[in-house]
Structure 1
Amino acid sequence: MIRINITSVFVDDQATALAFYTDKLGFIAKTDVPVGEHRWLTVVSPADPDGVELLLEPTGHPAAGPFKEALVADGIPFTQFAVDDVYAEVERLKALGVEFTQEPTDFGPVVTAVLDDTCGNLIQLATMKS
């Protein structure tokens, strides 16, 4: 059986990304290993510390920058995180200074919002309705 173990987002600066993803979004650091001039740096949800890790991948490859810029220019989130209540999470994050490019929007079976992670990505938050 294949499982998702690690997924990644390209970040402009790993230290800035770690601060945002932990201090603002509430993830916890899992792995931090020096790898040359960068780090193998992952975060996880405190609700599932042994679950899927998010690698804060340096934007070093020449294709990464233009890829990220094109997604942001078109308003396309790089990835999506699940939350129990998008409306409450948006209010919590706004109080911490997080900027949103899409306010909570009800699409029928799902409510989404999109935030700027300050590291060159748009990130979608989603709550599936039951």
Structure 2
Amino acid sequence: MTQKPTGHVSRVTHFALIVGDQEEALDFYTETLGFEKKEDSEMGEDRWLTVAPAGREGVHIILRSPDWFDGRDADRYERVVGHNPMIGLEVDDCHATYEELGARGVEFASEPREREYGVEVIALDPEGNELLFVEPARE
């Protein structure tokens, strides 16, 4: 039996990627992957910095420093750098993405693989976070 949602959430808008160096992350996601900077503002002593695929509406990735957190949480978030959950990114041509990003120096965990749902390849950002590029199967 499917449960009816209790809230009024209509979509996910942001998720945080904890990064050790916001400028390095911004450069990678914008210059290497072609995302665009969506938001960049001061929040007290901290910085609110987001990116998203260029020209698209959807979820923004918050490039968040572990310094944003105080006390015991700061240590916990420092340990997350390079160990964030995998990010899934849809592409039109996984093999071309692999070749193009590889030429730009992006490290990959493997070569593209055929799966029943399409073609996938896992890349690593400069801090070691996994980026899953998926070309959906064509019907």
TM, length-normalised to structure 1: 0.83
Deviation string for 1:75-109 (max 9, x for gaps)? xx521111111111111101111111122111221
Paired residues for 1:104-123 under 5 Å: 104-123=112-131
Match of 2:12 in 1: 4
2: CA distance between counterparts of 1:15 and 1:25? Answer: 14
**% identical equivalent positions:** 34
Unaligned 5+ segments in structure 2 are 1-8, 68-73
2:84 aligned with 1:66, yes or no?
Answer: no
Q: CA RMSD in A?
A: 2.0
Which aligned pairs between 1:1-130 and structure 2 lie closer than 5 A?
A: 1-48=9-56, 50-60=57-67, 61-68=74-81, 71=83, 78-130=86-138
Measured in 2, the distance between the counterparts of 1:85 and 1:59 equals: 34
Aligned length: 124
TM-score of the superposition, structure 2-length normalised? 0.78
Computing the radius of gyration from Cα coordinates, the structure with the larger value is: 2
SS in 2 for 1:62: helix
Shift of 1:66: 3.2
Q: Specify which structure has the bigger relative contact order, considering alpha-carbon pairs within 8 angstroms and separated by 6 or more residues.
A: 1
- 5+ long unaligned stretches in structure 1: none
SS in 2 for 1:30: strand
Q: CA shift at 1:37, angstroms?
A: 4.0
